Amino acid sequence: MSDSPKQEYLSQILQMNPLEQPAEILNRRKRFLQPHSESRQFDSMNSSYEERRAQILEQMNSLRKHFWSFKTSVIEQQLNEIDIADFPELTFAIGRLKKIAALRESFCRLQHRCENCEEFYAQFCTLVISSPAEAERLRSVSFAPPEANTFGFELPRLEDHRELARIVQQEFPELHALEKDWINQLAATSKKSNAIAWMVKTLHTLIAITAGISVVLILYLCL
């Protein structure tokens, strides 16, 4: 036996998160209270609310995959063609992609500054165009070398990341604004990691020298 419209409505509403889906909750309420409104008629003529939202997200994800290979005019055209009138929660994501597209020249200049450290540029570009959820994941997994690499004494790589973060801070304020906290943290973390790596390397060298001297003394005493 199928649920009544009221039961179906309550079941759907209770499964939604009011902090993350406020617009969708209001839209559902309006459609329930006014089932014959224009918005309801529009939905019946087209796909459901969820399907249309999924289609838009798919469009955006597809655009992200090819973002840096498309011309700015193509990106702007595709973004302008995405209708988010019924999905105000996507306004920020669309606006961010438009802003990044408008900064293409700045990204090109940064790319030239990153010729000796392409990893920094590639990961920064991936981060700024990622979906909010994916961007949060990438921020939590900083591409500053982890402790394992620190013990590998990759000092030049650490220094490159720190220096490029400083360059973004000072010379590219428009790009710095896109990921201000992350860039600042990267610069500070890299500098701290350099100091730790230097101390560990120095300690390792001293231990190796001490071990070498001990071996020589043992061999000498055995003669």
Residue-wise pLDDT for 8-67, tens only, equals: 778 777 777 776 666 677 777 777 777 655 554 555 445 588 899 999 999 999 999 999
* Cα–Cα distance, 73 to 77 (Å, whole number): 6
Torsion of CA 175, 178, 181, 182, to 10 degrees: -80
pLDDT, position 35: 64
Query: Which of the residues in the chain have pLDDT under 50?
Result: 1-2, 40, 44-45, 143-154, 190-191
Could you tell me the two tokens for 120? 């920094």
Q: What is the pTM of this model?
A: 0.62
Tokens read off for 147: 């402790």
Is residue 93 packed enough to be buried (19+ CB in 10 Å), middle (13-18) or exposed (0-12)? buried
Q: What is the pLDDT of residue 20?
A: 61
